[in-house]
Structure 1
Amino acid sequence: MRSDHYHPDLKSIARVLPRSPFNRLTLPTMRRLTRFAPSACEGVEVLTITPSTGARLYRPERECTHGGALLWIHGGGYVIGTAAQDDKLCQRFVRRVGVPVASVDYRLAPKDPFPAALEDCYTALTWLARLPGVDPGRIAIGGASAGGGLAAALALLARDRGEVTPLFQLLVYPMVDDRPSSRPGLESQHYRLWNEKSDRLGWQAYLKGADRQSAVPARRDDLSQLAPAWIGVGTVDPLYGQDVEYAYRLRDAGVSCELDVVEGAFHGFDIIASKTPVAQGFFARQCAALQTAFANGYVFEDGPDRLQ
């Protein structure tokens, strides 16, 4: 395997990481492990919103004066994971951006396919909009991988229902398209932690019996009148092609969108190698985008995409 496919900060760790630990055989074990993973931080408020929807609430030390908040949605291919897995990440957002963060515990496929998870995220959004100290017009929504896909779908659902209007979308290598970007057997050997086979497995579980035209963000014909967006993805990520295309479609629909492409980065690089300069820079740019949105709205200025 050639190491020059990867960013210099990621070459060493890429050599030892699996292409994907996620498949039909490992799924039951991974679900058990993530479900019972201990909390990674203190001071989090664990809340029950409805029988099917929970949230973990993280508050800044100083009260946020502008009423902003972030609704975060964890990843896991729509089939695994809990809000607790992102405790440290959400605390980092709180410290850097200075707003309360609510992380959603939503129902998982295949037991609860579409629209269960999306409806749970919408329930969390409307709950957060009613929380004391939160301005319902200043809520950013975000997530990574499947969480990013749910955030994109949530932006569409919120637009269609017209009850709460998100301020901003923070989409970190989001799963937005169930259609494969390459033919079977031709996917890259350099993917790490996620590949197109894993992607298909997650989508098949989530979309069981669903109308894909309405369930999958990239299949939606009308992307207009959505919240401004930031989309970040690495070039050694099976979601790279779909994320770039989604960013361009948002722009074509008149939606402000910044596309942040990290050369040689694989799926989940910012979590598995969080202390590397490339991961820290990636996170810093997410925080900067959120801070800009909370400060005075977020407008993408026409120009070249950000390449790192």
Structure 2
Amino acid sequence: MPSFKSYLYRYFIKRYFARKKVVDINAERQELNALGARLPLAQEVTSRPVNAGGTGGEWLQPANAISDAAILYLHGGVYLIGSCDSHRSMASFIARSCRMPVLLINYRLAPEHPYPAGLDDAEQAFDWLIAEHRLPAQRIILMGDSAGGGMALALALRLKRRGPGAQAGAVVAMSPWTDLTLSGESVTTRLARDPCFCKLLPLASGYVAMYAADHPLTNEEISPLFGDPAGLPPLLLQVGEDEILYNDAHDFARNARNAGVEVTFSPWRGMWHVWQCLVPGMKESRQAIEEIGRFCREVMGNDT
């Protein structure tokens, strides 16, 4: 049963998104960054700026972190908005729960920098973790939400092509956007239940065009759902049952499981797109991040 507080959050989220008729990208960036910058860091987590292979970012260090593993976090925001400011707070709670440092990066955004710029930045940050922190690829967890969740899966598909030993240790994707063709069944069947996108879906094709540019939407690095998941590392896919991207997560999990990948598919009753961002205020957000922490500690062998 969803908590009472979740119903309150749902009400205000739906009202907030319902007022958005036309999106001014620069205004949206400023608003989201300002909102995120006001949110607190998790206790006993520090933040410092870093240059990760040419891409700016932040290093979030929990006091109880292990020293031989790290998380590369890719923020959401339809590939157009979002930054370290917008996602610092949530990423800090994830760092504390996982007991691992988090590298949160400001990858380049569309429309100024369409695909593959952001994914290239993510790959360079991954290589920076290996070189700067002397981490084997298998000791790095790829993680992201929404578009960032899709990018984390796309990066895993790219790393697979490098050959043996190059793959990350795991991928965690929250409400991942894996199908930019918007062909998933839930895009229509769950639209009325989705408090975030019930009014924004008509704008989605424009977002897609700005990111994909002239590349086919079925390119696996743009829509990971159309890639071959065989050989990917263990996956945790969290998704709300009341969001239009439900099938983006469900169908990717199904394909990966059928390809022999170790998959934890975690649908959450009554939840919407990236509800985890409401940590620490909402019980379901805290519980979802606790689940992420357990998964990451287990795959890295530090679940003590």
Q: TM-score, normalised by structure 2?
A: 0.85
Aligned counterpart, 2:25: 27
Distance 1:43 1:186 in 2: 42
Task: Specify the code of the residue in structure 1 equivalent to 2:234.
Answer: P
How high is the sequence identity, in percent, across the aligned residues?
Answer: 22
Would the aligned equivalents of 2:140 and 2:168 in 1 still touch at CA under 8 Å?
Answer: yes
Q: Within the alignment, does 1:216 sit opposite 2:223 as a pair?
A: yes
Q: Within the alignment, does 1:275 sit opposite 2:281 as a pair?
A: yes
> Number of aligned pairs?
290
**Most deviating of 203-212 and 144-153:** 203-212
Aligned counterpart, 1:11: 7
Give a deviation string over 1:65-91, Cα, whole Å, max 9, x none: 4x1111111110110010222212222
CA RMSD of aligned residues (A): 2.7
Q: Within the alignment, does 1:71 sit opposite 2:72 as a pair?
A: yes
Question: Aligned to 2:14, what secondary structure does the other structure show?
Answer: coil
Would the aligned equivalents of 1:55 and 1:124 in 2 still touch at CA under 8 Å?
Answer: no
Question: Aligned to 1:281, what secondary structure does the other structure show?
Answer: helix
* 1:128–1:190 CA distance, 2 compared to 1 (3 A): same
Give the C-alpha shift of residue 283 in structure 1. 1.3
Distance 1:248 1:186 in 2: 19
Task: Specify the code of the residue in structure 2 equivalent to 1:225.
Answer: G
**Most deviating of 158-167 and 180-189:** 180-189
Give a deviation string over 1:177-234, Cα, whole Å, max 9, x none: 01223599876223122353354333221111113332310122x2110111000001
Aligned counterpart, 1:158: 159
Task: Specify the code of the residue in structure 2 equivalent to 1:193.
Answer: C
Give the C-alpha shift of residue 278 in structure 1. 1.9
Give the C-alpha shift of residue 154 in structure 1. 0.6
Would the aligned equivalents of 1:56 and 1:84 in 2 still touch at CA under 8 Å?
Answer: no
Aligned counterpart, 2:250: 244
Aligned counterpart, 2:48: 45
Any unmatched runs of 5+ in structure 1?
Answer: 298-308
Task: Specify the code of the residue in structure 1 equivalent to 2:60.
Answer: Y
Would the aligned equivalents of 1:70 and 1:139 in 2 still touch at CA under 8 Å?
Answer: yes
Would the aligned equivalents of 2:190 and 2:243 in 1 still touch at CA under 8 Å?
Answer: no
Distance 1:291 1:185 in 2: 36
Any unmatched runs of 5+ in structure 2?
Answer: none
Would the aligned equivalents of 1:22 and 1:194 in 2 still touch at CA under 8 Å?
Answer: no
Distance 2:125 2:21 in 1: 29
Would the aligned equivalents of 2:174 and 2:274 in 1 still touch at CA under 8 Å?
Answer: no
* 1:56–1:183 CA distance, 2 compared to 1 (3 A): closer
Task: Specify the code of the residue in structure 1 equivalent to 2:168.
Answer: P
**Most deviating of 150-159 and 36-45:** 36-45
Aligned counterpart, 2:139: 138
Would the aligned equivalents of 1:126 and 1:164 in 2 still touch at CA under 8 Å?
Answer: no
